[in-house]
Amino acid sequence: MYKGRRVILIAPAYNEEVKIAEVVRRAPRDIIDTVLVVDDGSTDGTASAARDKGAVVISLGAVLGVGAAIRTGFDKAKAEGFDIAVVIAGNNKDAPEEITRLLDPICDDNMDFVMGSRWREGGRHGGDMPFYRKIATRLHPMLVGFFCGKRITESTNGYRAMKVSVLDDKRIDLRQAWLDRYELEVYLLMKVLRLGYRCTEVPVSKIYPPKAIGNTKMKPGIDWWRMLRPIFLIGLGLRK
């Protein structure tokens, strides 16, 4: 529990046997009530590695997509009465030690949604980050901001925190089939911005693992298109 709020940390993971163990190990247990790993159909030892470090694991049984995994985590957060849900990368790119940066605006300033940004002053990025992603992760928030009427620096970072009560808003429909993969994270950000929720950004670290052990599961073509789709579908009113 943190400042009177029950906190769940949700880590979607696919074939991250080595890295997920580090994510779970680094999670500060004096702050986080439950570390939940949602195993998206992994064929390696992701689930057992996470359990061995003390995480609760939900196995989807098939590859459904990161969006479906995050949605599963949100379902558990709602069902078990958590106050705050934090989503973190399952491949050890994010810093669990920085979680209070995400929690404090909710606990102290009554923010509804907090986005971790590597591009805010005080944020860091490094490691084997592909060059095209350095460009894409700067341009993408410009597009999101344009369609939401907000100035933001980050829109593709999965490290974010939110009040679980936001998920009760019927105008935010995470169960649409087109949100099963990378679309969900962008969709959710755009909805909270456009619906007038109290949102802010905080500086965080985003350090990519060595390419030799796999630094991303994203496919440069199709998966970046999936991250662009919500901008136009929501921005132009083609989806709800």
Please write the tens of the pLDDT for every residue from 89-98.
999 999 999 9
Q: Are 85 and 102 in contact (CB under 8 A)?
A: no
What is the residue range of 155's domain? 7-235
Q: Is 217 among the domain residues?
A: yes
Q: Does 173 reside within a domain?
A: yes
Contact by Cβ (8 Å): 68, 182: no
189 in any annotated domain: yes
Q: Is the sign of the CA dihedral 150, 155, 157, 160 positive or negative?
A: positive
Looking at the 3D structure of the chain, how many domains does it have? Answer: 1
Task: Report yes or no on 229 lying in a domain.
Answer: yes
- Cα–Cα–Cα angle for 113, 137, 211, nearest 5°? 110
Q: In which element (H, E) is residue 159 found? A: none
Contacts of 5 (CB under 8 A, 6+ apart): 83, 84, 103, 106, 107
CATH code: domain of residue 72? 3.90.550.10
At 212 the pLDDT is: 54
Residue 238 has phi, psi (to 5 degrees) of -85, -20
All residue ranges of the chain with pLDDT < 70 are 211-216
CB atoms within 10 A of CB 146: 12
Task: Tell me if 2 is assigned to some domain.
Answer: no
- What span, in angstroms and rounded, lies between the C-alpha atoms of 27 and 163? 19
Give the DSSP letter of residue 168: G
d(CA 165, CA 85): 10
pLDDT digits (tens, 9 = 90+) for 165-224: 999 999 999 999 999 999 999 999 999 999 999 999 999 999 988 865 655 677 777 988
- Judge contact between 215 and 154, C-beta under 8 A: no
For the chain, state the CA radius of gyration: 16
- Residue 152 domain flag: yes
**Within a domain: 240:** no
In a domain, 1, yes or no: no
Q: Is residue 131 classed exposed, middle or buried when 0-12, 13-18 and 19+ CB atoms within 10 A define those classes?
A: exposed
pLDDT at res. 132? 81
Residue burial 194-227, b: 16+ Cβ < 10 Å; e: rest: eeebebbbbbbbbbbbeeeeebbbbeeeebbebb
